[in-house]
Amino acid sequence: MGWALLIIGGIILLLVVFGIASYNRFVSQRQLIKDAWANIDTELRRRYDLIPNLVETVRGYASHERTVFENVTRARAAAASATGSPGEQAAAEGPLVAALRQLFAVVENYPDLKANQNFLALQSELANTEDRLQTARRFYNANVRDYNQRVKQFPSGLIASSFGFKEEEFFEVDDALREAGAPQVAFGADQPGVTFGGPEVPQTPAVPPAPSPEPSGTPPPPPGTPET
């Protein structure tokens, strides 16, 4: 009887220890997710701060593109004011990325703007911000994935359901702006100004005609010449 009580007590103790360890791990993982989201929010705010200066610089060269500027300004305001879940924030970022694409499409029509030093600095800073944003997004999503797996697995799922640990949302945004890359300056005769990202198509160099083969040895005698 005494041994049975000891065994039962040992099992209960192990379950309590497991429960405490699992609970503490959930708490740590959830805090890590919050910290990772704070890093994403920091990069998003940096992007929002860059956009007004970028719009004003482009407006100086293409003031008639009112619709494009209004779309960017409206989308930026909506994204900056979004304070919901990561999924809702990602949904607000979609129109902003689309509006910025339109803005850069306008830029392609103005070689002088593409060579403007202020614009180059802003575009380069935006590209750096996109790189940091995507790094923070991958870190955040990796932590969410690990956390969500534990929420659904057994036996850790029992602790999750008992203490209200629920699955977290992923943050998925279009990384097209990051893929635009840093500005590339070209000073060729037929390629002035600046281009933005994308693989360059190599130009096939002109191949000069092959020279005529030089005669080797003694030329053949003219027709009718007797052989010696």
For residue range 153-174, list pLDDT tens digits in order. 999 999 999 999 999 999 987 6
> Is 11 part of any domain?
yes
pLDDT of 1: 65
Q: Could you tell me which of 169, 153, 13, 11 has the C-alpha nearest to residue 90? A: 169
Q: Domain of 98?
A: 2-196
Task: Tell whether pTM > 0.85.
Answer: no
Enumerate long-range contacts of 134-137, CB under 8 Å, 24 or more apart. Answer: 134/175, 134/178, 136/36, 136/39, 136/40, 136/42, 136/43, 137/40, 137/171, 137/172, 137/173
- Which whole number is the average pLDDT over 130-144? 94
> Is 63 part of any domain?
yes
> Is 159 part of any domain?
yes
Residue 210 φ/ψ, nearest 5 degrees: -65, 135
Mean pLDDT of the chain: 80
CATH of the domain at 18: 1.20.1440.20
> Is 228 part of any domain?
no
Q: How many domains does the chain have?
A: 1
pLDDT of 173: 75
Quote the tokens at residue 21: 């360890």
pLDDT tens for residues 91-112? 999 999 999 999 999 999 999 9
Residues 128-142: b if buried by 16+ CB within 10 A, e if exposed: ebbbbbbebbebbbe
> Is 202 part of any domain?
no
> Is 212 part of any domain?
no
